[in-house]
Structure 1
Amino acid sequence: MNSARSFSLALRFALREMRGGLSGFYIFLACIALGVAAIGGVNSVAGSVSSGITAQGQSILGGDISFALNQREVTPAERAFIEKQGKMAASATMRSMARMPDGSDQSLVEVKAVDDAYPLYGTLKVSPQQSLADMTREKDGAYGAAVSRDFLDRMGLSLGARVLLGSQTFELRALIENEPDLLSSGFNFAPRFLVSLEGLHAAGLVQPGSLVNHIYKVALPDGAPDAAIANVRRQAATGFPDAGWNIRTRANAAPALSANVERFSQFLTLVGLTALIVGGVGVANAVRAYLDGKRGVIATFKSLGAPARFAVLVYLIQIMVIGLIGIAIGLVLAAIIPYATGAALAAYLPVAAGGGFFPGALALAAIFGLVTTLAFAIIPLGRARDIPATALFREQGGEQRGRPALFYLGLAILLIAALAGLALYVAYDRHITAIFIVSAIAAFGVLRLAVGNIHRPGALTPSVVLSLGLGLTLMVAIALIDGNLRRQVTENIPAQAPDFFFVDIQNKDMGDFTKLVRGIVPDGKLTSGPMLRGRIVAFNGQNVRDMKIPPEAAWVLRGDRGITFAEKVPENATLSEGAWWPADYSGEPLVSFSGREGKELGLKLGDRVTVNVLGRNITAKIASFREVQWETLAMNFVMVFSPNTFAGAPATWLATLTIPDGEKNLAPDVLRQVTKTWPAITTVSVSDALDVANNLLSQLATAIRAAASIALAASVLVLGGALAAGNRARVHDAVVLKTLGATRATLIAAYVMEYMLLGLATAIFALVAGGVAGWYVVVEIMKLKAIFLPDVALMTVVIALVLTVGFGLAGTWRVLGQKPAQVLRSL
């Protein structure tokens, strides 16, 4: 029989057998549909958000191109170049303290000062609506300001109230409803305080060395293509190589948001892949159970002379048809998800992401679904092929659970490798994806070793532990990561961190500042040091833009970094390699680099680091590496330079204050007196910052748990299918035992014990696998200390027991209702 005729005949047989419906494959369908919908939906939503960012790039950036400088304004030559390109809008951002005139309260604010050209694109919406000029101009001795609602809530104020910013009075004239270029500024730590550039300068906040970011945005002539914008960027880079400005275009308007969307979509894709893998277990269970029920048919094929591969082909066609139906259902759901989530996303993202059709995302999901179906179906098909016809005619005990032929085993391995390769290919962070793949493969291997010798043929142990265990593993890992992060933020960090950071202390005020603080808190620990802002531009003469930087170290090169200089090793750091310079050192500039970050960047002693500070490129040789405990939130820097490097530079001072436990009540006095005496000093309360971080963690953890529930839902579906598939054998066992005198209560007690043991085995598997995964993320990736959380273990055991016993008894109750005579007659 030639291949074409064989396939045609197999197709006819397959379709004829499927006329009876999809009984036994509903779990199969649901699992594949759920996994495909998750992967396709997530990537479609990510595509929708990304396309929204691209389409609204001008509004989000506030221009076609922007030039940002730290701690300095543009030179006349730089300004002339920028203004030549098109209409320019200048702005400045910084953190400062807004306070009540009577000194009764104060709040950290994100100050944004703009000129009359703001915004170049988009619309600033305020309430009550008014022109920017009227809203910010000076009137009756006060400049105007527009603020975000959280500032009013924090201070307990309403519009019309007056507050002090620096040395100037500002009247709160409007509430900000929409700031068009908010996303381009990244994460805002404090409430927005919008004023005019004139008002900012009148407040006296901009001093030499102040941490202020000057931004110049340009609207090019209408219809300027991306190529023209790229050309402006090249001219700026070549014409002003030492400017040190951060240039951003409308094509990359919100890089932080884009990166976070990529990261979150990768996580959700892995969740969807987990659901598919769990669903794969359901596929294997369904195919095995289905083929067990078709033993007579397969035996008939073989008895009539059909080759073994013919039976495999018949049922492979059926399985793929059912799999394609599940994939189609998943794709329909995935295509709907971007439209269904548009309104919800609008509440969190100021970007229109109102849906769209993304064939690439759907095709990716379909491929994942197709490969998963084949990978998990091929082993049961291979086993069915190799079972002798005589064994297939046996009613009980003839199931073969041995290893299939090498061809099928090799094909399964190739398909799993293809699945892993595809996941790596589309990954945003291949390191994380590789860990996920290795962990998944290890979980299957460990489970096989663990249960291979403790279950009887046909027992539910492998199916139940794999199906429910993988879903619970993901939940355990997330819970442990979240719990350790929360513990770090709410317990560990507060116990070690200072109470206050003081920023922008002028050199001339440092003595008086120290005297005032020590006068209020004599036993407090006050640490201080000079600080500048600089951007790393090159290593060993090679521009960092041309280098491949590992993801874990990318933050060091992202934007400007705080840098300092010191004669001695900082007290909260220890040298791990190299030597410190003498106190009177006057040779070539030297720098001490943070050890972990230096290692991640591939640096070594003697390498050269070039930083741009205040428009000057300065190159220093790495003289040492330091071990820095970032989690203490103490005053730490990636780079500490020799003092001669920045001789004469207009540095400001940074200080931290740790108040003894018995004197925490003095914190409000410190805040009030420092803000009143030096309005330009920005005071950051660490406890307030940690509250913000904890709230963000809570929101993120809720979103992640909700997403991870997809995998748990797939686990529950497969669990139900696995338990239902075992009911056929249980009918026989229950009837035999009832015939021998066992009561219903005895059988129920036996089954409850069995399901409890299954649930306990599943919980142990999930705790071990999830615990290892959580530990690795916390210790190796986040570089934190990990602890075991008993409440997570208890929750896992309870969920596993409730699901296994609940689903098990639901099916067993019907089994126990079978009449012995009726079942015995059918044997």
Structure 2
Amino acid sequence: AAYGLLIAFAFAMPPLARARTHPAAAQLRSGVEESRGIDRRSVALVALAGALVVTLALATAREPIFAGAVLGAVALVLLVLLGIGALIRRVSAKLPRPRRPLLRLALSNLHRPGAQTVALVIALGLALTLFVTLAAIQTSLDAEIERAVPQRAPSQFVLDIPSESRDAFSTLVKREAPEAKLNIVPSLRGTITAYGNTRVADLKTLPEGAWFLRGERGVTYSAVLPEGSDLVAGQWWPKDYAGPPLVSLDREAATILKVGVGDTMTVSILGREITARIASLRQVNWDTMGFNYILVFSPNTLAAAPHSLTATIDMEPKNEGKVSRALLGAFPSASIIAVSEVVGQVRTILDQMATAILLSASVTILAGIAVLVGAIAASRQARSYDSVILKTLGATRRQILAAQALEYALLALTLAALALGLGGLAAWYVITGVFQFGWAPDWSIVAATLGLGALLTLGIGLLGSLPVLSVRPAQALRRL
């Protein structure tokens, strides 16, 4: 209710102020002269209403800082469009007069007295910018789904398998699902207590992004490079390595901790602190939905420690229920996670995010279309006058409509590049800054959406101009 009252007041005040302060002679000359602004008191009241709207938005927002950033970005875009609209009016007035009558008429419509060029630029620019933003966000989310959600993930995760039951586990799975592919790895829990010369306990605040320093993390050991990892620095230890403890570290974690090959890591496992030298750095491909450990030790370091096993099973969907029942019967302590359900939930969440963005931005697009229709309606009197004069001089309806189509097309072409830049920048911030996803829009779809959006707004503009063409010259001239 408060929003509605404040916005209604802010938009109703300027025309009421003009009606109160402008003399009758100014109203009669409005067709050939620019209308004057409103008085200072009315400007102050409108500004106060706008300030109260912003204050209400920030006070009721769950995240005021983020809401303020959005409002600031919107205000900036509107100011840019306002400036471009004024620039288009000024430039079109100074351009040489084209020889083609329709093009000359289209240009004159951009700068003549009473022209709604600024309002048209704001409406067209806002709508086209949002079309680009939505297309770039949607295609980037689609790319994120393709990249981050694997098309072929393991069917099941099985946790807490007794280490002495490795052969029995493999035999049981192969009996129920002969085509199944298994990946079995040792699983322990450990806490990073030191890296390089730094003790974690001595840190007042953890480094930015160092989530792995909080509490226990999964650790494992392996004689070979684990699946889903790429070696990017250092060397992997030999299969029969029997020297001092070695560890392979995730490259991103090494960057955050500012350590590298040759530095040391201290990890507390089962109450015992183990200091190991960093032998290599790995690029961990977390999106494989397999086993991805930040810390992988050489086998001689942890093989003798008590631990359980963890496995992934890749099999036909028809065998999942049968395998689950057999495993839970044979290994009551094991836990089974159905990966297909998790993948489905991830896809659903990303699709819902895209839908939410589309619905929220559609409100703004509709508002931009409403502004476009309003700008056309505001200039209807002047356009009706022009239409009558042109018809009297012999112009056809098709020629008058073509001149207006040229006018809107010139604006759309001018604003297309701006919309591509502003919309792309907004989408980039949403994808990389808010969602922290990869920036990968499909520019062909973005360009096609921009073109369709331009045609849509042009169509709305021309539909709004049709009533102007129906004015009969004889009736209009008798009213003058």
TM-score (norm 2): 0.71
Distance in 1 separating the partners of 2:359 and 2:299: 51
Distance in 2 separating the partners of 1:323 and 1:377: 19
Are 1:521 and 2:174 matched, yes or no?
no
Instruction: Provide closer, same or farther for how the CA distance between residues 24 and 294 of structure 1 changes in structure 2, counting only shifts above 3 A.
Output: farther
- The equivalent residue for 1:801 is 455
Shift of 1:615: 3.9
Identity %: 33
- The equivalent residue for 2:14 is 22
AA in 2 matched with 1:325: A
Could you tell me which runs of 5 or more consecutive residues in structure 1 were left unpaired when the two chains were aligned: 1-17, 27-290, 299-313, 339-359, 385-396, 403-453
SS of the counterpart of 1:23?
A: helix
AA in 2 matched with 1:607: D
Distance in 2 separating the partners of 1:334 and 1:784: 30
- For residues 502-517 of structure 1, the aligned pairs below 5 Å read 502-517=158-173
- The equivalent residue for 1:641 is 297
Q: Could you say which structure has the greater relative contact order, defined with CA pairs below 8 angstroms and 6 or more residues apart? A: 2
Shift of 1:724: 5.0
Shift of 1:570: 1.6
Once the two structures are overlaid, the 10-residue window that deviates more, 678-687 or 709-718, is 709-718
Are 1:323 and 2:47 matched, yes or no?
yes
Contact kept, 8 Å, 1:476 with 1:766, in 2: the verdict is no
Shift of 1:693: 2.0
SS of the counterpart of 1:669?
A: helix
Contact kept, 8 Å, 2:250 with 2:295, in 1: the verdict is yes
Are 1:543 and 2:197 matched, yes or no?
no
AA in 2 matched with 1:619: T
Shift of 1:699: 3.7
- The equivalent residue for 1:531 is 187
Contact kept, 8 Å, 1:606 with 1:621, in 2: the verdict is yes
Per-residue CA deviation, residues 206-252 of structure 1 (Å, 9 max, x unaligned), is xxxxxxxxxxxxxxxxxxxxxxxxxxxxxxxxxxxxxxxxxxxxxxx
- For residues 600-679 of structure 1, the aligned pairs below 5 Å read 600-659=256-315, 663-679=316-332
Distance in 2 separating the partners of 1:367 and 1:598: 35
AA in 2 matched with 1:543: V
- The equivalent residue for 2:249 is 593
Per-residue CA deviation, residues 85-120 of structure 1 (Å, 9 max, x unaligned), is xxxxxxxxxxxxxxxxxxxxxxxxxxxxxxxxxxxx
SS of the counterpart of 1:22?
A: helix
- For residues 83-102 of structure 1, the aligned pairs below 5 Å read none
Contact kept, 8 Å, 1:327 with 1:366, in 2: the verdict is no
Distance in 1 separating the partners of 2:372 and 2:345: 40
Shift of 1:648: 3.1
Contact kept, 8 Å, 2:229 with 2:284, in 1: the verdict is yes
Per-residue CA deviation, residues 622-663 of structure 1 (Å, 9 max, x unaligned), is 22111222212122212211223335322211111223xxx4
- For residues 46-125 of structure 1, the aligned pairs below 5 Å read none
AA in 1 matched with 2:50: G
SS of the counterpart of 2:224?
A: coil
Distance in 2 separating the partners of 1:378 and 1:574: 48
Contact kept, 8 Å, 1:585 with 1:642, in 2: the verdict is yes
Distance in 2 separating the partners of 1:604 and 1:760: 53
Could you tell me which runs of 5 or more consecutive residues in structure 2 were left unpaired when the two chains were aligned: 1-9, 19-29, 93-105, 112-116
Distance in 1 separating the partners of 2:385 and 2:214: 67
SS of the counterpart of 1:604?
A: coil
- The equivalent residue for 1:65 is none
Shift of 1:531: 1.1
Distance in 2 separating the partners of 1:629 and 1:324: 53
Per-residue CA deviation, residues 376-427 of structure 1 (Å, 9 max, x unaligned), is 39986xx89xxxxxxxxxxxx9x6459xxxxxxxxxxxxxxxxxxxxxxxxx
Instruction: Provide closer, same or farther for how the CA distance between residues 337 and 525 of structure 1 changes in structure 2, counting only shifts above 3 A.
Output: closer
Shift of 1:562: 1.9
Instruction: Provide closer, same or farther for how the CA distance between residues 569 and 785 of structure 1 changes in structure 2, counting only shifts above 3 A.
Output: farther
- The equivalent residue for 1:468 is 127
Instruction: Provide closer, same or farther for how the CA distance between residues 732 and 590 of structure 1 changes in structure 2, counting only shifts above 3 A.
Output: farther
- The equivalent residue for 2:466 is 813
RMSD: 4.9
Are 1:577 and 2:280 matched, yes or no?
no
Per-residue CA deviation, residues 526-554 of structure 1 (Å, 9 max, x unaligned), is 1111011233344331428535633xx34
Distance in 2 separating the partners of 1:315 and 1:745: 42
AA in 2 matched with 1:646: L
AA in 2 matched with 1:738: K
SS of the counterpart of 1:650?
A: coil
Contact kept, 8 Å, 1:751 with 1:809, in 2: the verdict is yes
2:334 is matched with which residue: 673, 681, 686?
681
Contact kept, 8 Å, 1:539 with 1:609, in 2: the verdict is yes
SS of the counterpart of 2:14?
A: coil
- The equivalent residue for 2:26 is none
- The equivalent residue for 2:150 is 493
Per-residue CA deviation, residues 580-607 of structure 1 (Å, 9 max, x unaligned), is 2233434443221122343344432233
Distance in 1 separating the partners of 2:474 and 2:55: 48
Per-residue CA deviation, residues 451-498 of structure 1 (Å, 9 max, x unaligned), is xxx988545775444221222233223322332344456xx6132x22
- The equivalent residue for 2:79 is 376
AA in 2 matched with 1:22: P
Per-residue CA deviation, residues 103-154 of structure 1 (Å, 9 max, x unaligned), is xxxxxxxxxxxxxxxxxxxxxxxxxxxxxxxxxxxxxxxxxxxxxxxxxxxx
Distance in 1 separating the partners of 2:437 and 2:69: 37
Distance in 1 separating the partners of 2:16 and 2:139: 37
Shift of 1:675: 1.9
Are 1:788 and 2:442 matched, yes or no?
yes
- For residues 325-344 of structure 1, the aligned pairs below 5 Å read 325-332=49-56
Shift of 1:678: 1.2
AA in 2 matched with 1:598: A
Contact kept, 8 Å, 2:136 with 2:446, in 1: the verdict is no
- For residues 276-287 of structure 1, the aligned pairs below 5 Å read none
- The equivalent residue for 1:691 is 344
Per-residue CA deviation, residues 10-44 of structure 1 (Å, 9 max, x unaligned), is xxxxxxxx9x9412999xxxxxxxxxxxxxxxxxx
Shift of 1:688: 1.3
Distance in 1 separating the partners of 2:240 and 2:441: 46
Contact kept, 8 Å, 1:760 with 1:801, in 2: the verdict is no
- The equivalent residue for 2:101 is none
- The equivalent residue for 2:365 is 712
Distance in 2 separating the partners of 1:763 and 1:374: 14
- For residues 287-326 of structure 1, the aligned pairs below 5 Å read 319-326=43-50
SS of the counterpart of 1:648?
A: coil
Distance in 2 separating the partners of 1:584 and 1:698: 48
- The equivalent residue for 2:143 is 484
Contact kept, 8 Å, 2:245 with 2:300, in 1: the verdict is yes
Contact kept, 8 Å, 1:484 with 1:778, in 2: the verdict is no
Shift of 1:315: 7.1
TM-score (norm 1): 0.44
Shift of 1:777: 7.1
Distance in 2 separating the partners of 1:503 and 1:324: 62
